[in-house]
Amino acid sequence: MRAVQNLTALALATGLAVSLGLAGSATAAPTTPNAASSVTADGIYISPWGSADVAFSPAAKAYFAERHVTLGAIAPFTKTPDGFHMPIGSTEGDHVDSKGRIFYPGGMSFTYPNGTVVELRPTYIRVMPTPGYSAGVVVNGKQVSPEILAATTTPAEVLANGRPTFTGFKLDRVPFHITQELTDTLAQASGEPGPKAGDLFATLTPYFDYVPTRATN
């Protein structure tokens, strides 16, 4: 277990070091409305292969049910009974970028009864300054924000969940808590109350593989 925790800590440290190095050497680039969806591979990733599962919390599921929100997956995300599944790894184009984020293509969508569709895409896991889940925001096909911090976690919660696997290691059900920014964003876009800030949004279980496999983890 200690070896896995050390590997997890090393992975986090690598991501942080790379992001800091990239940030220090990056030059300013013009900002365009589509900048968040045109990220190029400018950094490394923790593993070549892998997959990740997102499981929504009871609080999040209750919000979706109460507000009659229909969930959608934006490829390469796919829906599961509990949330979403996605491939991860450097071979999928995932990478640490110059803003201290791990970039993942795809995302999720929320469709409200009034027809409003809120998409959170692309997807980022922030390494710094605050660990968490962030994403661009698209409302009814129009980008309204290049990025919001949607849910947060802590390094301690990440490190506590390291587990070995036959092909590498995983982080088992890392908790992410709803931010006020996500609450306000969904409320403003939909005209409905947003989920309660501070509640558990979802858990993330990524599998980092160093041996190629198509088997489901």
Q: What is the pLDDT of residue 48?
A: 87
Residue 106 lies in a domain: yes
Residue 92 lies in a domain: yes
Residues ≥6 apart with Cβ < 8 Å to 89 = 45, 47, 48, 49, 50, 208, 209
- Residue 120's SS3 state is strand
Q: What is the pLDDT of residue 177?
A: 98
Higher pLDDT, 86 or 43: 86
Q: Inform me whether the pLDDT recorded for 196 exceeds 50.
A: yes
Domain of 79? 2-24+42-209
Which of 54, 61, 58, 48 has its CA nearest to residue 123? 54
153-157, 168-172, 195-199, range with greatest mean pLDDT:
195-199
Residue 109 lies in a domain: yes
Higher pLDDT, 30 or 115: 115
Cα separation of 32 and 18, whole Å?
Answer: 25
Q: What total of structural domains would you count in the chain?
A: 1
Q: Which structure tokens are listed for 30?
A: 């013009």
Q: What is the pLDDT of residue 211?
A: 86
Q: What is the pLDDT of residue 214?
A: 54
Cα separation of 194 and 199, whole Å?
Answer: 11
- Residue 33's SS3 state is coil
pTM across the whole model = 0.80
Give 63's pLDDT tier (boundaries 50, 70, 90): very high
Residue 88 lies in a domain: yes
Give 185's pLDDT tier (boundaries 50, 70, 90): very high
Residue 35 lies in a domain: no
Segment 77-133, tens digit of pLDDT: 999 999 999 999 988 888 888 787 899 999 999 999 999 999 999 999 997 778 999
